[in-house]
Structure 1
Amino acid sequence: MSIAENLDKIRNNIDTIKKEKGLDYDITLIAVSKTVDEEKVLEAYEHGQHDFGENKVQELTKKESSLNNLEDINFHMIGYLQSNKVKYLVNTAKLIHSLDRKSLIKEMEKRGKSEDFIFNCLIQVNLAKEESKSGIYLEDLEELLTLIEGSKYIRVKGLMMIAPFYEDAEDVRPLFRQMKELFDELKVRDFKNIEMKYLSMGMSHDYKVAVEEGSNMVRIGTDIFGKRVYV
């Protein structure tokens, strides 16, 4: 299937779930374009896909520089972010999905002050406590929220989670449900610099379950661009 056909299939799946569940909010599709060449990104863009996710800062900035002449194209930083790479995301990343530690807050504040720039972020939460994945543990979240409330150059727009991979996507449903409960709990609290607008969870293997459980932002790569070969 072509990229356009893949996008149509995913959009139809999401629309079907929305109708079945009676969901009345928009669900943002992030096309994960890591290792994908700009020609394929352009192909997706021409079929109405304007939000793309990158795991590496260097690849994000390269594509953003090459394609920023396109109207309303947005690049999201969805991978682990090293503090020394924060400076490259000023005016390039629409949304950073992987804010998860004090050192990043410190560096964003430093860069934000020097560049007069506000970083829009999601807090990455590691509910399953997988050592192979980044993300803050639930018991450390309150301290991070307090630090963000005291910041001047960070605006949190919601939460992100990378779920464990299970052969049967149904097995991850309880974690998605727990994440939505956390999102809803934080949404009603009165924060400074923090709002719960986006709940980013669900990838190619499990996005249908994630949407059913309340995700309003999904990050899909393989089901759009096909399997990647990593070298």
Structure 2
Amino acid sequence: MTKEMNLQKIEKKIQMACRTSKRKATDIKLIAVTKTIDALEMEELYQLGLRDFGENRTDSFLAKTAFLAAKKDITWHFIGTLQTRKVKDILTKIDYLHSLDRLSLAKEIEKRATTKIKCFLEINISGEEKKHGFTKEAAIQFVKTFSFQHIEIVGLMAMAPFTQDQKELHQVFRDLKQVQLEIEALKLPHVPCHELSMGMTNDYPIAIEEGATSIRIGRALVND
């Protein structure tokens, strides 16, 4: 299938999930995860109307932002684990960081930033040892003691377990939604926490049904 056909298929699934959950498809941001394609193929996605692009490695991110620098309407999302020493390299080029997963990273961003950086707090909602992120309890403690002036916590991000068990996936995403609502209700300065970045190729319709506002799609979009 072509990328255009892939995109049409994804958009239909988004619409179906939105009908099921009585949501609007326009409320869902589709982030094209482009780690497996080059900048020329990204330009192809751009021509199809996509404007949100996500990368998970700093070297690829820097190369692609440079190649597509003339496309001023692109929104750049960094979605991978960010090494503290790499913060200075990408901070002025990202629109959203989806992987604020530890206090030391927040401190480095605060040290380097000159403008407000929009971040998703990464939550290890499934409790898997190999996953990064705050526990629910640690996340709530983090925001309650939040003192950063250059960081805005716009929402939460998580990756679900790799499973075909739809009941389990619904529960994981539902749990993340509950944490988001708890933090949002605190009405803390610099922590609006209105958004949810969750759902990838294997599970994005379920994530939408459970409240995702951003979905991160790679394989389903770019594979021929």
The TM-score, its normalising length taken from structure 2, stands at 0.94
Deviation above 3 Å: which 4+ runs of structure 1?
none
Q: What SS is found at the alignment partner of 1:150?
A: coil
Quote the residue 1:64 is aligned against.
65
The residue type paired with residue 75 of structure 1 is W
Offset of residue 137 of structure 1: 1.1
Does residue 220 (structure 1) correspond to residue 223 (structure 2)? The answer is no
Matches within 5 A, 1:117-128: 117-128=115-126
* Preserved contact between residue 136 and residue 179 of structure 2 (Cα < 8 Å): no
Quote the residue 1:204 is aligned against.
201
Q: What SS is found at the alignment partner of 2:118?
A: strand
Does residue 2 (structure 1) correspond to residue 11 (structure 2)? The answer is no
Offset of residue 19 of structure 1: 2.4
Offset of residue 126 of structure 1: 0.2
Structure 1 window deviating more from structure 2 (166-175 vs 2-11): it is: 166-175
* Preserved contact between residue 53 and residue 76 of structure 1 (Cα < 8 Å): yes
Quote the residue 2:109 is aligned against.
108
The residue type paired with residue 140 of structure 2 is E
Does residue 11 (structure 1) correspond to residue 11 (structure 2)? The answer is yes
Task: Rate the CA distance shift 1:209–1:193 in 2: closer, same or farther, 3 A.
Answer: same
Name structure 1 gaps, 5 residues minimum.
none
* Preserved contact between residue 20 and residue 209 of structure 2 (Cα < 8 Å): no
Name structure 2 gaps, 5 residues minimum.
none
Offset of residue 146 of structure 1: 3.2
* Preserved contact between residue 90 and residue 117 of structure 1 (Cα < 8 Å): no
The residue type paired with residue 219 of structure 1 is R
* Preserved contact between residue 201 and residue 210 of structure 1 (Cα < 8 Å): yes
Cα RMSD for the two superposed structures: 1.5
Provide the rounded CA distance (Å) in 2 between the counterparts of 1:158 and 1:146: 15
Quote the residue 2:75 is aligned against.
74
Q: What SS is found at the alignment partner of 1:164?
A: coil
Offset of residue 74 of structure 1: 1.8
Q: Return the match for 1:158 from 144, 150, 155.
A: 155
Count of aligned pairs between the two proteins: 223
Quote the residue 1:189 is aligned against.
186
Q: What SS is found at the alignment partner of 1:97?
A: strand
Offset of residue 143 of structure 1: 2.6
Structure 1 vs Structure 2: percent identity of aligned residues?
Answer: 36
Quote the residue 1:142 is aligned against.
140
Offset of residue 163 of structure 1: 0.7
Quote the residue 1:21 is aligned against.
21
* Preserved contact between residue 111 and residue 117 of structure 1 (Cα < 8 Å): no
Provide the rounded CA distance (Å) in 2 between the counterparts of 1:163 and 1:104: 22
Quote the residue 2:177 is aligned against.
180
Q: What SS is found at the alignment partner of 2:31?
A: strand
Offset of residue 69 of structure 1: 0.6
Provide the rounded CA distance (Å) in 2 between the counterparts of 1:19 and 1:143: 36
The TM-score, its normalising length taken from structure 1, stands at 0.92
- Structure number with greater CO (CA < 8 Å, separation at least 6) is 2
Provide the rounded CA distance (Å) in 1 between the counterparts of 2:171 and 2:154: 23
Provide the rounded CA distance (Å) in 1 between the counterparts of 2:72 and 2:5: 22
